[in-house]
């Protein structure tokens, strides 16, 4: 089954990896910061080696986003996502796992989960069935 792991972050310090720019991360002792970075790299290596990682991508600064809506046949484009949002989608990983529990376990191991939201969503086929 495929799951999309969505990582959110505050756009104030937009640079990847996002967790390494968070004030909470920066306030940790250097040894702990180094260990979290090592854990993130080890997790990525693990899911690549196991074949669970299908794809991963980091998104650019939300300031470069355009939101498009068509109302009454008229397209309207605005700059950026919703301005009042405190967190924005920063990136995602598509994983192919045996279970929802495994996908959630992978998500908890991203350092970002210590500082912000990490969402796990099953991927549906065009027919609406989960794949």
Whichever domain contains 100, its CATH number is: 3.30.70.1060
In total, how many domains does the chain have? 1
The residue range of the domain holding 66 is: 2-122
Q: Is residue 61 part of a domain?
A: yes
Q: Is residue 127 part of a domain?
A: no
pTM: 0.84
Q: Is residue 27 part of a domain?
A: yes
Q: Is residue 130 part of a domain?
A: no
The full length of the chain comes to 131
Q: Is residue 128 part of a domain?
A: no
Q: Is residue 129 part of a domain?
A: no
What letter does residue 124 receive in the DSSP assignment? B
Cis-peptide into 17, omega within 30 deg: yes
* 96: phi then psi, degrees, rounded to nearest 5: -120, 105
Per-residue pLDDT of the chain (131 residues; tens, 9 = 90+): 999 999 988 877 777 888 898 889 999 999 999 999 999 999 999 999 999 999 999 999 888 888 899 999 999 998 876 656 677 889 999 999 999 999 999 999 999 999 988 999 999 977 666 55
Q: Is residue 34 part of a domain?
A: yes
What letter does residue 92 receive in the DSSP assignment? E
């Amino acid at each position: 089954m495929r799951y999309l792991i969505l990582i959110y972050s505050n756009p104030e310090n937009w640079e990847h990896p996002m967790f390494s720019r968070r004030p909470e991360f920066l306030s940790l002792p250097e040894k702990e910061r180094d260990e979290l970075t090592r854990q993130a790299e080890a997790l990525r290596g693990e899911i690549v080696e196991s074949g669970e990682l299908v794809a991963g991508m980091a998104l650019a600064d939300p300031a470069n986003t355009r939101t498009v809506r068509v109302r009454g046949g008229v397209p309207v484009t605005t700059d950026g996502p919703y301005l009042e949002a405190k967190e924005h989608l920063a990136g995602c990983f598509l994983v192919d796992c045996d279970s929802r529990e495994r996908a959630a376990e992978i998500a908890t191991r991203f350092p970002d989960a210590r500082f912000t939201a990490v969402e796990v969503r099953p991927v549906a086929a065009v027919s609406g069935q989960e794949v």
